[in-house]
């Protein structure tokens, strides 16, 4: 016998009316009446009789109501307590962020998640996007922000931002005083770039091929901080988003110019590992916090980028 039918029975008995019970339960009146008929058929007795102002319990119905009230109340309490225990269960969560993004979003996300979801055991990892994409696939990272890298198809991901990329050099270099540089002129600026599998060299190669242009890679450096230091010393030029160089530009330690014809930009992704075994409600809350803080950073100008993501795709938007 379905517990649902017993709950329906108690609600009708309490309301004294099939119509009022139907509205309170959000169940169509014919469907509710059918459930009571099935219950009566199972028990072999009539539970209600119709009266001018609604429905009245029969003697058998009154007996069943008295017998069910306490046990079902106890069952509801037990289910509520189990859900409360689940909400307090400890959940391990690892967030991966690339350099620069960690400095901007890391503290915000850590503090918000610690406050809003105290049952989370937090671990934050700072690494380049290629390494984070590999960590997502093997389950070492649960959620990551990826820049310029597309992970394996088994990893869920969504495009969130498009950020411009700038040519960056030393204050006394040939870049000083220039606001833009044509892509066709990049070969005049020896570049210090990250090595594969970072997506930047590949992106530049594709853009160069479209216009039969070329560029020169003088050296490879897989550290953003080191790249900025050697560029500031006049050893070459690099390409960075505004998020990663604007402080140094503001202090006069670096200069930057937009690349045009064509412009260079890259997509920033939100990515989730394929086998994260946590309660759906916990994931929804983590997702909500991440996108609230991320949206605020872009809207406030702290992360110069174009927002692409439709918030209606969020799990929390659906309910």
Q: For residue 82, what is the domain's CATH number?
A: 1.10.10.10
| Domain final residue pick, 61, 87, 113 | 87
The string of DSSP letters for 74-96 reads: HHHHHHHHHHHHHHHS-EEEEEE
Which CATH number covers residue 126?
3.40.190.10
Q: Are 211 and 187 in contact (CB under 8 A)?
A: no
Q: What is the pLDDT of residue 319?
A: 36
Q: Model confidence over 87-106: pLDDT tens digits?
A: 566 788 899 999 999 999 99
Q: What is the pLDDT of residue 75?
A: 80
Q: What is the pLDDT of residue 82?
A: 62
d(CA 244, CA 171): 17
Q: Do both 157 and 274 map to the same domain? A: yes
**Helix, coil or strand: residue 265:** strand
- Domain containing 144 equals 90-161+268-301+308-318
pTM of the model: 0.68
**Model confidence band, residue 84 (pLDDT cutoffs 50, 70, 90):** low
Q: Do both 189 and 230 map to the same domain? A: yes
Q: Do both 175 and 257 map to the same domain? A: yes
92, with CB counted inside 10 A (0-12, 13-18, 19+), is: exposed
319, with CB counted inside 10 A (0-12, 13-18, 19+), is: exposed
Q: Looking at residues 151-171, what average pLDDT do you find?
A: 93
Q: Do both 98 and 79 map to the same domain? A: no
d(CA 146, CA 106): 14
Q: What is the pLDDT of residue 318?
A: 39
Structure tokens at 91: 């959940």
How far CA 75 is from CA of 68, 69, 72, 88, 148, in Å, comes to 10, 10, 5, 20, 52
Q: Report, in angstroms and rounded to the nearest whole number, the Rg of the chain calculated over CA atoms.
A: 31
Parallel, antiparallel or unpaired: strands 191-193 and 217-220: parallel
Q: Do both 286 and 222 map to the same domain? A: no
Mean pLDDT over each residue of the chain, to the nearest integer: 89
**Model confidence band, residue 282 (pLDDT cutoffs 50, 70, 90):** confident
Q: Do both 214 and 275 map to the same domain? A: no
Parallel, antiparallel or unpaired: strands 238-240 and 91-97: unpaired
Q: What is the pLDDT of residue 87?
A: 56
The secondary structure of residue 264, as a DSSP letter, is: -
How many other C-beta atoms are found inside a 10 Å radius of the C-beta of residue 30?
10
Q: Do both 70 and 100 map to the same domain? A: no
Q: Do both 241 and 172 map to the same domain? A: yes
Q: Do both 199 and 255 map to the same domain? A: yes
Q: What is the pLDDT of residue 317?
A: 42
Q: Are 218 and 190 in contact (CB under 8 A)?
A: yes
Q: Do both 132 and 275 map to the same domain? A: yes
Look at residue 77 and tell me whether its pLDDT is greater than 80: no
Lowest mean pLDDT among 48-62, 80-94, 121-135, 274-288: 80-94
| Domain final residue pick, 37, 70, 87 | 87
Q: Are 122 and 111 in contact (CB under 8 A)?
A: no
Look at residue 108 and tell me whether its pLDDT is greater than 50: yes
The secondary structure of residue 141, as a DSSP letter, is: -
Q: Do both 242 and 102 map to the same domain? A: no
115, with CB counted inside 10 A (0-12, 13-18, 19+), is: exposed
How far CA 287 is from CA of 78, 250, 271, 272, in Å, comes to 29, 33, 11, 10
Q: Do both 151 and 20 map to the same domain? A: no
**Torsion angle (degrees, nearest 10) of CA 183, 194, 245, 243:** 90
Structural domains of the chain, count: 3
Q: What is the pLDDT of residue 278?
A: 72
Backbone phi and psi for residue 303, each to the nearest 5 degrees, phi listed first: -120, 95
């Amino acid at each position: 016998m379905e517990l649902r039918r017993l709950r329906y029975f108690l609600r009708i008995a309490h309301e004294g009316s099939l119509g009022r019970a139907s509205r309170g339960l959000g169940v169509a009146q014919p469907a509710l009446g059918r459930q009571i008929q099935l219950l009566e058929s199972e028990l072999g007795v009539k539970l209600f009789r119709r009266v001018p102002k609604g429905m009245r319990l029969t003697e058998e119905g009154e007996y069943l109501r008295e017998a069910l009230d306490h046990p079902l109340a106890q069952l509801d309490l037990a289910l509520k307590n189990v859900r409360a225990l689940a909400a307090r269960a400890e959940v391990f969560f690892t967030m991966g962020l690339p350099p620069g993004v960690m400095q901007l979003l890391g503290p915000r996300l850590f503090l918000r998640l610690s406050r809003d979801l105290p049952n989370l055991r937090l671990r934050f990892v700072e690494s380049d996007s290629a390494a984070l994409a590999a960590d997502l696939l093997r389950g070492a990272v649960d959620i990551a922000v990826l820049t310029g890298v597309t992970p394996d198809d088994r990893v869920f991901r969504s495009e969130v931002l498009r950020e411009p990329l700038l040519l960056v050099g030393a204050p006394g270099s040939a870049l000083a005083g220039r606001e833009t540089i044509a892509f066709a002129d990049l070969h005049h600026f020896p570049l210090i770039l990250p090595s594969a599998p970072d997506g930047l060299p590949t992106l530049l190669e594709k853009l160069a091929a479209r216009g039969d242009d070329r560029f020169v890679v003088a050296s490879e450096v897989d550290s953003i901080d080191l790249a900025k230091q050697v560029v500031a010393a006049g050893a070459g030029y690099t390409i960075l988003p505004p998020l990663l160089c604007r402080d140094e530009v503001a202090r006069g330690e670096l200069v930057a110019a937009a690349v045009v014809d064509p412009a260079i930009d890259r997509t920033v992704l939100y990515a989730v590992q394929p086998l994260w075994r946590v309660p759906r409600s916990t994931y929804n809350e983590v997702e909500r916090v991440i996108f609230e803080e991320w949206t605020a950073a872009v809207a406030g100008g702290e992360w110069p980028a174009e927002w692409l993501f439709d918030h209606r795709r969020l799990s929390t938007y659906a309910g």
